[in-house]
């Protein structure tokens, strides 16, 4: 297990270093100037140059890259050009919305997909299977931002059960609280979960059907185990390897893909911060946020690898 874990850790570190270099290089070659954006289009060239020196933009790219990485190793993400406050504080505040939103959406996705996938597999080539897979196909085809607008029209405008947007906060002192905050995140989470649940349900169905054909399932049934117990106790666990792969990718996608939904519901999350920072040419915020999202994706994949080893010991034994 130690060799398996060490190899995965080295891969994680190498991937993060490569991602940081790519993110920095891509943002460097983009057109535009943060100093010009801050000073305005009519600013004198001397004033723009002075602002660029103040921001450190006149230094060579490799020097600024080294300073950025060194700062990250010490927990310093720098200071935002547009907001004038530490980037770490901005990111931490916005993660308080984005991470719970992604977790809630993933929880809804998992419950719906596993139930639908196992149900469809247990009724293979019958009406239950055809109906669930038909709904899943519709779910895959629906854009989440369009479904978000439909949810707002139905539950916010017509029924008035939820607010149409905004986030009250997690603290009761600010007029929010746990329940109001969860209510504000429920519709965005459902809009994100619909497409992901449809995809995961199809993967779950295929994986369960494949395992159902194995000899150990017939043996378990021959020993008197009910079909339902065999499905949930034995079949689903052995079918979880491809399901976990997709779940890991989906959770990473939910973390990185909330920009549109956060703007639809006017949520002060990480996606909205990235959108505003791109508009303000606040590249230091964009750089740190994109690398943070990349790090989340890599860490999620690392956790999925560990779950592989926990579910199927053959993986760490063979050190795949």
Q: Is the pLDDT of residue 248 over 70?
A: yes
Predicted model pTM? 0.77
pLDDT over 60 at 173, yes or no: yes
> What are the tens digits of pLDDT across the range 43-89?
666 666 666 666 666 677 777 788 888 888 888 887 887 777 888 88
Q: Tell me what the mean pLDDT of segment 222-248 comes to.
A: 73
Do 214 and 179 fall within a single domain? yes
What value does the mean pLDDT take over residues 280-304?
82
Residue 79, strand partner residues: 86
Of 38, 73, 108, the position where a domain reaches its end is: 73
Q: Is residue 252 in some structural domain?
A: yes
Q: What is the pLDDT of residue 97?
A: 87
**Whether residues 138 and 229 fall in one domain:** yes
In a domain, 86, yes or no: no
Indicate whether 304 belongs to any domain.
yes
How many structural domains does the chain have?
2
- Whole-number mean pLDDT of the chain? 79
Q: Say yes or no: 147 and 246 in one domain.
A: yes
pLDDT score of 320: 47
Q: What is the pLDDT of residue 209?
A: 82
Residue 303 lies in a domain: yes
- Output the domain CATH number for residue 181: 1.10.3720.10
**Mind giving me the DSSP string for 32-95?**
--HHHHHH-TT--HHHHHHHHHHHTTTS-HHHHHHHHHHHHHTT---B-TTT-SBHHHHHHHHH
- Is the domain of 250 the same as that of 179? yes
Let me know whether 22 and 117 are in one domain.
Answer: no
Q: How many residues does the chain have?
A: 320
Q: What angle do CA 88, 93, 95 make, to 5 degrees?
A: 95
**78 domain-assigned:** no
- Range 101-120 average pLDDT: 89
In a shared domain, residues 198 and 146: yes
State whether 56 and 113 are in the same domain. Answer: no
Claim to verify: residue 262 and residue 149 sit in the same structural domain: yes
How confident is the model at residue 160, as a pLDDT? Answer: 82
Q: Which domain holds residue 48?
A: 2-73
* Residue 108 pLDDT level (bands cut at 50, 70, 90): very high
The pLDDT assigned to 107 comes to 92
Give 168 or 188, the one with higher predicted confidence.
188
Give yes or no: residues 224 and 146 share one domain: yes
Q: Residue 41 pLDDT more than 80?
A: no
* Shared-domain flag, residues 116 and 196: yes
Q: Indicate the SS3 state at residue 110.
A: helix
Q: What would the pLDDT profile of 180-226 be if each residue is shown by its tens digit? A: 888 888 999 998 888 889 999 888 888 888 877 776 766 766 766 66
**What pLDDT band is residue 36 in, cutting at 50, 70 and 90?**
low
On whether both 27 and 160 belong to a single domain, the answer is no
Q: Is position 311 within any domain? A: yes
Per residue in 116-158, pLDDT (tens digit) is 888 888 788 788 888 888 888 888 888 888 888 888 898 888 8
> Among the three residues 10, 42, 73, which one is the final residue of a domain in this structure?
73
Long-range CB contacts for residues 64-68, cutoff 8 Å, separation at least 24: 65/21, 65/24, 68/20, 68/24, 68/287
Task: Give the DSSP letter string of 118-157.
Answer: HHHHHTTTSHHHHHHHHHHHHHHHS-HHHHHHHHIIIIII
Predicted confidence (pLDDT) at residue 279 exceeds the cutoff of 60: yes
Q: Are 154 and 9 in the same domain?
A: no
> Which of the listed residues 16, 41, 73 is the one where a domain comes to its end?
73
């Amino acid at each position: 297990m130690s060799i398996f874990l060490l190899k995965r850790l080295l891969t994680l570190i190498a991937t993060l270093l490569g991602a940081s270099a790519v993110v920095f290089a891509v943002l460097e070659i983009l057109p535009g100037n943060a100093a010009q954006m801050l000073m305005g289009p009519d600013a004198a060239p001397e004033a723009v140059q002075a602002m660029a020196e103040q921001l450190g933009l006149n230094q060579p790219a490799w020097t600024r890259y080294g300073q950025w990485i060194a700062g990250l190793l010490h927990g310093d993400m720098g200071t935002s050009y547009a907001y004038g406050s530490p980037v770490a504080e901005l990111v931490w505040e916005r993660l308080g919305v984005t991470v719970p939103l992604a977790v809630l959406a993933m929880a809804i996705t998992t419950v719906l997909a596993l139930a639908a996938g196992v149900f469809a597999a247990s009724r293979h080539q019958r009406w239950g299977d055809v109906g669930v897979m038909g709904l899943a196909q519709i779910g895959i085809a629906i854009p989440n931002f369009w479904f978000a607008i439909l949810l707002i029209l139905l539950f916010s405008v017509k029924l008035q059960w939820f607010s149409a947007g905004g986030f009250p906060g997690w603290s009761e002192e600010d007029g929010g609280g746990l329940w109001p905050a969860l209510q504000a995140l429920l519709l965005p989470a459902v809009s994100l979960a619909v497409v992901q649940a449809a995809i995961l349900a199809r993967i779950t169905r295929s994986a369960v059907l494949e395992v159902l054909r194995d000899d150990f399932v017939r043996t378990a049934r021959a020993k008197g185990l009910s079909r339902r117990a065999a499905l949930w106790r034995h079949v689903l666990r052995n079918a979880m390897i491809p399901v976990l792969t997709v779940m890991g990718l989906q959770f990473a996608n939910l973390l990185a893909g909330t920009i549109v939904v956060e703007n639809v519901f006017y949520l002060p999350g990480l996606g909205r911060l990235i959108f505003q920072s791109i508009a303000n040419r606040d590249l230091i915020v964009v750089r740190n946020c994109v690398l943070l999202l990349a790090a989340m994706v890599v860490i999620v994949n690392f956790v999925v690898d560990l779950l592989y080893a926990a579910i199927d010991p053959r993986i760490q034994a063979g050190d795949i």
